[in-house]
Amino acid sequence: MKSNASIAVAERAVLWLLWCVFCGALIFYRMVLVTEAHNTSSLEFPATTFGLLQYSIPLAVSLGARWLVVPRLRVPFLALVPFLIGIATAEMLTFFGIFLSPKSFNVFFFTTVILMLMWIPIWRNNVEPAHPAEPSQSSGR
């Protein structure tokens, strides 16, 4: 049976590998799919309701998965599911900027870059501290 340390190293390696693949894909999309029709010279925020929805929904899902779900997980490998959901919705912003809102491409792309940096897998294994008075009284999540 493998030790806990080697399992933790494997879990971290998987998360880092996935993060690097998604970042590489983001760079690839920027280099290959962006044409002269895209606004790459200014930061023009989406002005329509449809544009605001396609910007805010993936942003809310990614932020919620990162800051509301991941800190509550006690087993680090269970973070893979919200990690994939959050990072994939961050990538959706780039696709929305490329295909649906080329006028606001820079806003979508820079938001995706910030979200990708937010998803760097450096969170701790045990996020929730023990109860200060009695360690056995922690919530057990």
Dump pLDDT digits (tens) for 36-73: 878 788 888 998 999 999 999 999 999 999 999 998 88
Residue 129 has pLDDT above 50, yes or no: no
Return the structure tokens found at 51: 């544009």
pTM equals 0.80
Residues whose CB is less than 8 angstroms from the CB of residue 59 and which lie 6 or more positions away in sequence, other chains included:
93, 111, 115
What are the domain boundaries of the chain? 4-125
**Where do runs of H (alpha helix) occur along 1-141?**
4-32, 49-64, 80-95, 105-118
Contact 138, 105 (CB under 8 A): no
